[in-house]
């Protein structure tokens, strides 16, 4: 019997994802906080009501590292307005980056509204995000990243700027 390498790799990936999903589901039942694979990261933003898809997305992109880090370092980013902001950033990434480069625009205003950013700090926040993204975009290989990875970079530029 000949083994199809591509089919085998897909099967291994599926089993690994299901294992992560099982561990993630079991961990969440303890009530100790957000489940990083299901409730955090870009996976949660893209698939807020489909747990297996959120887990799969987080595992595929960076083995869940970003989701785990956000759950550990700042669990508040795994719920509510932060998840909505991550989804909005992914959906409107191209417009947001263009407007961020200019320093204003309707998508930037919408993002600030989603995050309930006070009017008096919006200009400083946009400036900080512009600066962070300028550094990220200039990095070798940034342009070859997938859209979800670029959106995640923008998301963390916003969240980290809000903290400072």
Label residue 78 exposed, middle or buried (CB < 10 Å: 0-12, 13-18, 19+). buried
Digit-coded pLDDT (tens) for 64-74: 666 666 666 56
Q: What is the pLDDT of residue 54?
A: 76
Long-range contacts of 97-102 (CB under 8 A, 24+ apart): 97/133, 97/150, 97/154, 100/126, 100/129, 100/130, 100/133, 100/154, 101/130, 101/133
Extract the tokens encoding 117: 């950013």
Alpha-carbon distance of 11 to 90, in angstroms, equals 28
Q: What is the pLDDT of residue 35?
A: 73
4: left (phi over 0), alpha (psi -120 to 50) or beta: beta
Digit-coded pLDDT (tens) for 16-37: 444 444 444 434 444 456 677 7
- Mean residue pLDDT of the chain comes to 75
């Amino acid at each position: 019997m000949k083994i199809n390498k591509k089919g085998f790799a897909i099967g291994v990936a599926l089993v690994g994802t299901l294992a992560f999903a099982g561990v993630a589901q079991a961990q969440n039942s303890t009530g100790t906080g957000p489940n990083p694979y299901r409730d955090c990261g870009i996976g949660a933003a893209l698939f807020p009501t489909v747990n297996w898809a959120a887990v799969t997305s987080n595992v595929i992109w960076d083995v869940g590292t970003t989701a785990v880090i956000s759950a550990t370092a700042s669990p508040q980013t795994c719920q509510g307005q932060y998840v909505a902001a991550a989804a909005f950033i992914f959906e409107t990434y191209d417009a947001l980056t263009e407007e961020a480069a200019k320093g204003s625009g309707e998508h930037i205003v919408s993002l600030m509204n989603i995050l309930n950013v006070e009017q008096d700090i919006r200009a400083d926040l946009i400036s900080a995000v512009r600066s962070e993204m300028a550094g990220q975009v200039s990095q070798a290989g940034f342009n070859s990243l997938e859209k979800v990875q670029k959106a995640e970079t923008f998301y963390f530029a916003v969240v980290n700027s809000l903290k400072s």
